Structure 1
Amino acid sequence: MTDMRIKRIVIAGGGTAGWMAAAACSKVLGGDCAIRLVESEEIGTVGVGEGTVPHLKLFNDLLGIGDVEFIRNTQGTFKLGVQFNDWARKGDSYIHGFGEIGHDISPLSFHQFWIKARQLGLAEDIGAYSLNTVAAPRGRFMPSAKDAPVNSPLANVAYAYHFDAGLYARFLRRYAEQRGVRRTEGKIASVELRPDDGFVSALVMESGERIEGELFIDCTGFRGLLIEQTLHTGFHDFSHWLPCDRAVAVGCERVGPPTPYTRSTAQKAGWQWRIPLQHRTGNGHVYCSAHMSDDEAAAVLLENLDGTPLGEPRLLRFTTGARKQTWNRNVVALGLAGGFLEPLESTSIYMIQSGIARLLDMMPQRDFSPVLIDRYNARSRFEYEHLRDFLILHYHANERDDSPFWQACREMALPPRLEENIRLFRDSGRFYRDGDELFVVPSWVQVMVGQRLMPRGYHPLVDQMSEKDLAGFMAGVRQVVNSCVDAMPMHQAFLDKVCPAQAMESA
């Protein structure tokens, strides 16, 4: 019986995407497959301070990498959510926290009871009922407590990370090379295609070396050397919904303890991120070049840093969107080669992780079944479009009148699915998650409410609870959340405990 398994995988490009792919493939496929990664130190990578969603822990768990090892090797910190400042109106602030809000009473979500209580003046802002959104601004953090009662918020703390993407790539390179991944330094001069079917057969290096493979993974960034420049796959442009097309990024000196949350501050023609690491703070200003010049954008960024900049701002140009196929013939595109959604909700690393997981799940044989390729592309398109809609929500649901940019965002025509979700939520606070899309009901609820999309009504089953009991329910949930947060250590203290070397260096 002929062995049709893939025996040679070639990864074009390093960086976070390339080395995540190499590490995962070497772990899962073991010695059954030769894995080779080609990258050039001259080309470099985007590499900035990164924020993530909680799913990265699953990827690290797959590799057998624990929190302590990860944080120590990437100068990382922990993240309970994202704080949004000045988005709906200037002066507004809310946190999109990971994890649950309050305590659901089957079959209703907590927020349905909150809507009625808020209308009656019996409830605080919705953030007062979530462990993450209360703990984050107070600078407190801990992972799930193994000895906490199963119904305690401390028993299931949802968290993600901030980390140095360059250090993470270096860490994963060591991991992958220890498991047999072979790295080749150099630039790719050309790509050879098989004459009969147009599949990629080899990468030709500037040195003249030919690197043959059966499955090629494109991690060459925005240029998409294999997926686009060679295979001409095409691109779905999302910029009519997400008009920001540039960013300037710079690190600055750390000032004070790192916060356990990412900060996103809306500016005149975009927004500014702040990502706290152990050794520095990552900053960037994402903006629309039709409404702001590069020089003005850099000036806005520098004026709003917490500490002294550690270099000159670096300019990045991009177009939001996704390849029409992230798997074309025998090429799978990961990271920026597959598409780009601005880092407003820290989904870039997740999309790499998701693409890798989907590839391993749908790993082809050498005949490359079109059925698998079609399913892979359908799932990839589903993810890009649903994440796109979640990001559009932040821009569209605003009441700012201080700039043409925000007015244009408010007046834009929406994708039909997002328009329906907003209409449904405004009507009665309902939101129905579409299959296994990344962001769950609490995430959509927090952002909709934070962006001042308040429901007119609520689920009628809420009225089965008396107003007296409703007031007691709200007060009880808030008391539990506050007492749990009081029991959590400070984020910096937790970091000092798990990273004693870094604590000594900063002493």
Structure 2
Amino acid sequence: MSARTRPIRRIVILGGGSAGWMTAAALARALAGQGHAITLIESEAIGTVGVGEATVPPIHDFNRYLRIDPAEFLRATNGTIKLGIQFDGWGGRDASYFHPFGYLGIEMGGIHFHHYWLRHLAQGGAGDHAPYNLETLAARAGRFAPATRHGPVHHAVHFDAAGYARFLRSHAEAGGVVRVEGKVAEVRLDPEDGFIDTLLLDDGRTIDGDLFVDCSGFRGVLIEGALNSGYVDWCHWLPCDSAVAMPSERQGDPPPFTRSTAREAGWQWRIPLQHRDGNGYVYSSAHLDHDDAVAKLTDRLPGKALADPNRLRFVAGHRRVIWNRNCVAIGLAGGFLEPLESTSIHLIQTAIIRLLALLPRDGFDPGIAARFNRETINEVERIRDFVIAHYALAGRDDTDFWRDIAAAPIPDSLAERIAVFRATGNILFEPGDLFGPTNWYCVLAGQGVRAQSWHPIADGLAPDELARRLATLRGRVAEQLSELPPHTAYLASLAR
């Protein structure tokens, strides 16, 4: 990519939805008072993809940056609390486990708690690690408050994605972002360096810019349609390429967790909101046709359907070049991972944070774009491995889909993680990884992976001392749990 030296004053965002309005709101906040012109182009006729209704805890960091009040946010989006994900049918057809937020136990002697737990299990101890994680017990009991006397309750949120976009639009427009209704008919490039100069709308208007952010979804109008950035396809590892989504009436009190149920050709999600349930079936079209997927999801809805099914088609992977010339792809325009671990909104968020950190002032240096691309791809590859682990360790052979999954290859990086854990109990992770030791341990153990050993430091406690410490930790978690009100009572308090 060539360099271009030109002051960057006009930023154009193509596409609304969560990706577009998150980007617009963050840029408006970061550049407030500096005279930049930020324009967002979207068309009500195109619509958006709303699969990102469940999140992970760092969403709170993003909202705090925008100075969003948590109660106002949950009210505006009909949001509920998420303490983790209940996985049913993963690790065996009748298996069930919970992947929580927060931490399992506490570090002792400089090593993670799960090493002491592995020793405890090997010596005949009880096998349920849930009493050492507050978020798991709170999810089971349907309880929540942001904190107890001993510290925070780690949580994310479920929200209406369309409501979140509308909410952020109000913040962005208050910060000076100008919304333009329209569709792009043509992208005009500089004939000398291939950079984007102008977007021609279908009504003849032109939008000039210096930096363009592509939030146009799977179509990638700028990053792919105009700049031919290419795509890295991960379908050999993640064969699900379709989804059908459908909201349904709320049934009972909303639980403070997401549910993921393994099905015959993929998996089904259930996301509780205050006013409805979000439901979807992610599946492989090579193993299930669309009409059958719709029928199966409809039959399994927890309540009456509230809308017609919405079909999505996708290819797991990412653009080969995500920052290309003066265009940065964010959200589905940059790549896609199925929402098994609710990472879609998070990847939008981290891309925005990375863009803000590397935002150029007066030109485009190839080294900046290369750094952005390298960090973005490294991040999504590590999350990819976590998602693939669920499939690779599912222990299912009851349908063609699961038999094909069992025979499929896995990335070398994931194979190394699993092998190291099985042999030593160690969990390989990098600083800054979204999913750390507690996440990996709960998923690996939940899906039946057993470690043959543990860290030698864990042998330093005498058996009676280890038992005493475990009892103390259980008691502390139980005390914290007793302080938490019902999840529904917390939600009701938001309306005051």
Equivalent residue runs for 1:52-451 within 5 Å? 52-145=55-148, 148=149, 152=150, 155-451=151-447
Which residue among 25, 28, 32 is the counterpart of 1:26?
A: 28
1:22-49 CA-to-partner distances (Å, cap 9, x unmatched) read: 0000011013210000010001111256
Distance 1:157 1:104 in 2: 18
Structure 1 position 375, deviation (Å): 0.3
1:37 is matched with which residue? 40
What's the Cα RMSD here?
Answer: 1.3
Distance 2:404 2:477 in 1: 39
Structure 1 position 126, deviation (Å): 2.0
- Where 1:136 maps in the other structure, the secondary structure is helix
1:422-443 CA-to-partner distances (Å, cap 9, x unmatched) read: 0000012101212322111111
1:504 is matched with which residue? none
1:225-275 CA-to-partner distances (Å, cap 9, x unmatched) read: 000011000000011101100001000000111111000000011000000
Q: Is the 8 A contact 2:84 2:257 kept in 1?
A: yes
Structure 1 position 295, deviation (Å): 1.6
Distance 2:261 2:478 in 1: 26
Distance 2:116 2:51 in 1: 41
Distance 2:447 2:273 in 1: 28
- Where 1:398 maps in the other structure, the secondary structure is coil
TM-score of the superposition, structure 1-length normalised?
0.95
Q: Is the 8 A contact 1:98 1:158 kept in 2?
A: yes
Distance 1:49 1:192 in 2: 32
Structure 1 position 366, deviation (Å): 3.4
1:61-98 CA-to-partner distances (Å, cap 9, x unmatched) read: 00000210110111101111111111011221111111
Structure 1 residues 87, 165: CA separation in 2 closer, same or farther (over 3 Å shift)?
Answer: same
Structure 1 residues 382, 48: CA separation in 2 closer, same or farther (over 3 Å shift)?
Answer: closer
Aligned residue identity for 1:194: D
Which residue among 449, 453, 458 is the counterpart of 2:449?
A: 453
Which residue among 14, 17, 26 is the counterpart of 1:15?
A: 17
Unaligned runs of 5+ in 2: none
Distance 2:134 2:275 in 1: 27
Q: Is the 8 A contact 2:52 2:345 kept in 1?
A: no
Distance 2:40 2:140 in 1: 42
Distance 2:16 2:414 in 1: 35
Return structure 1 stretches of 4+ with deviation > 3 angstroms. none
Structure 1 position 369, deviation (Å): 0.6
Structure 1 position 479, deviation (Å): 2.2
1:457-503 CA-to-partner distances (Å, cap 9, x unmatched) read: 11122222122222222222222212211221110000001124xxx
1:209-231 CA-to-partner distances (Å, cap 9, x unmatched) read: 11000000001000000000110
TM-score of the superposition, structure 2-length normalised?
0.97
Aligned residue identity for 1:473: R
1:488 is matched with which residue? 484
Unaligned runs of 5+ in 1: 501-507
Aligned-pair identity in percent equals 48
Aligned residue identity for 1:91: D
Aligned residue identity for 1:386: R
- Where 2:140 maps in the other structure, the secondary structure is coil
How many pairs were matched up?
491
Q: Bigger shift: 476-485 or 182-191?
A: 476-485
